[in-house]
Amino acid sequence: MKIVVTGGAGFVGSHACEHFKRQGHEVVAVDNFSRHLLLGKPHATTEFNVQFLESIDVPLIRADITNSEQISHALRGAEAIIHTAAQTAVTTSLQDPLTDFRVNALGTVNVLEAARQNDAAVVFCSTNKVYGDNVNKLRILEDLRRYRFSGSVAVDEKLSVDHTEHTPYGSSKLLGDVYCQDYAHVYGLKTGVFRMSCIYGTRQLGVEDQGWVAWFTIATMFGSPINIYGDGKQVRDVLFVKDLVELYDRFLQSKTKHGVYNTGGGINNTLSLIELLDLLEEFTGKRSKLKYHDWRPSDQKVYISDITKAADHFGWKPKITPAQGVKKMVEWIEENRHIFARNFEESPSQSLSFPERKGLDLTPKKTSFQTSMEV
């Protein structure tokens, strides 16, 4: 079938393009290349992903999800839409909540309207942040190197998303989440809402504000100091990106019309910040200097996804362990050191130049649209 991936030049998006292309589907990527602008970072890995998509013969259309006319045209003829495009950083949402709303809420409604015009299935990248501070209201115990839940060991889909602080990012993603649910109930669209925990893997440009596993790995390998907000005992379940897109595939192949799924590594694949630093020291022989700061707004001390529902519905489970996944990241970063060296040296304000390929205008412009999705 024809599958269109919004945010296709981003981290999760490029992996979705690769997966479904190798499955034999017609795949089109849609992007407007502004991740680096929203995060105030250099553009090198976006350029890398553009070149990667060309290498696997995935056409790339420039379009902005906040522009209904552009996105309607870009998604024309789609039978399935993998909606990874988003503003992904909590810190950015606090600084600029209006842009965050336009991208994550309005942008998602525009994608859903285009899906309705084509009767296309939709995979939506939601986030564990929809539960907001309700996660911290669960009883939490403190151990030597990590926090853990007392009683329940993971968060299932029944935890309330109401009556709590979310941050603008959590709120805007929740709006998209609920709209995806409603388009299934009201219009009969096939929609899968995947409330993602920590997704990580190759072709990811982690920065301090977003993509912590990748950022810690890059910073460690380049000897950059790392800021720790809180005490470093925060725990997340981590899911390697290839396991994630396998879940998307199983949903699209299934007869399931609609579902909401907590999505992560689950209880068998968790890391605290401190534990990741230990793992990186084992693989690289290096450990960055740490500087501790106050907790950030609505940071969850522990978040572990209960993935039972996804496992039961689709016979899916993560295959790649944290140790295996982090090792893959270390190897990929080492193989592509030139990309990350550029990121450490470049100024975000430098002029950007993408080659024009197959008649497409790939020159980035400053618009409110981000290309990768990870919590």
With respect to residue 361, please indicate whether it lies within any of the assigned structural domains: no
Strand partners, 260: 193
Q: What is the band of 351 on the pLDDT scale with cuts at 50, 70, 90?
A: very low
CA distance 332 to 336: 6
CA distance 265 to 161: 21
CA distance 209 to 198: 13
With respect to residue 358, please indicate whether it lies within any of the assigned structural domains: no
**In this structure, what token pair is assigned to residue 212?**
């912590």
CATH number of the structural domain spanning residue 242 = 3.40.50.720
Whether 229 sits among the annotated catalytic residues: the reply is no
With respect to residue 363, please indicate whether it lies within any of the assigned structural domains: no
Residue 360 — φ and ψ, nearest 5°? -90, 140
Q: Is the pLDDT of residue 365 over 90?
A: no
With respect to residue 351, please indicate whether it lies within any of the assigned structural domains: no
With respect to residue 365, please indicate whether it lies within any of the assigned structural domains: no
Catalytic residue among 147, 169, 183, 248: 169
Each residue of 150-163: b (16+ CB within 10 Å) or e? eeeebbebebebee
CA distance 332 to 210: 19
Look at 2 and 34; give whichever has higher pLDDT: 2
Give the range of the structural domain holding residue 173, as residue numbers without chain letter: 2-345
With respect to residue 312, please indicate whether it lies within any of the assigned structural domains: yes
With respect to residue 371, please indicate whether it lies within any of the assigned structural domains: no
- Cβ–Cβ under 8 Å, residues 161 and 170: no
Lowest average pLDDT, out of 103-117, 258-272, 333-347, goes to 333-347
With respect to residue 236, please indicate whether it lies within any of the assigned structural domains: yes
At residue 201, the 3 state secondary structure works out as: coil
Q: What is the band of 272 on the pLDDT scale with cuts at 50, 70, 90?
A: very high
Q: What is the band of 45 on the pLDDT scale with cuts at 50, 70, 90?
A: low
Q: What is the pLDDT averaged over residues 122-148?
A: 95
Number of domains in the chain: 1
Q: E strands, 128-240, where? A: 140-142, 147-149, 191-196, 198-200, 226-229, 235-240
CA distance 18 to 262: 23
**In this structure, what token pair is assigned to residue 356?**
């024009």
At residue 270, the 3 state secondary structure works out as: strand
